[in-house]
Amino acid sequence: MLYLWVKAFHIVAIVCWFAGLFYLPRLFVYHAQSEDTVSKERFSVMERKLYRGIMGPAMLATLVFGIWLIVLNPGIFQSGAWIHAKLTLVVLLIGYHHMCGAQVKRFARGENTRSHVFYRWFNEVPVLMLLAIVILVVVKPF
């Protein structure tokens, strides 16, 4: 029963983390398009609060509950290569998360050099990662 509770909280944490991973790059799009100081400052505050107040804690909760699931079921590593692929994508997603954090700081310092078009494409990365992770976990193709 403990395993199911941990899994439930893991899924909730994932949903919260991905909400931020989807929304923050969208804020970058709008921030890159803004021209007045008031808008730029407002976007910087929104980005910082989202990153620090929601995304960071959600990522940590996702990792804590995910590691707890592995501790409760270490045999999962013998269930196929899908788990290794999934964990590789999670590591890449953590890297993406930190890239977002670096970009939050660049925007706050007024040092953004990228266009809104770049951020529109950048915004698609977590979508592709989520798609791949869900397919790996549900379908277990290998």
Which residues contribute to the annotated binding site for heme? Answer: 10, 86
User: Reduced to 3 DSSP states, what percent helix, strand and coil does the chain have, rounded to the nearest 5?
Assistant: 85, 0, 15
Residues in the chain: 142
Six token digits for residue 45: 């505050």
Residue type, 80: G
Q: Burial letters for 122-131: b for 16+ Cβ neighbours within 10 Å, e otherwise?
A: bbebbeebbe
Amino acid of residue 108: A
**Can you say which residues are annotated as belonging to the binding site?**
10, 86
Angstrom distance (rounded) from CA 127 to CA 136? 14
Q: Which amino acid makes up residue 28?
A: F
Q: In Å, how far from its chain's centre is CA 60?
A: 11
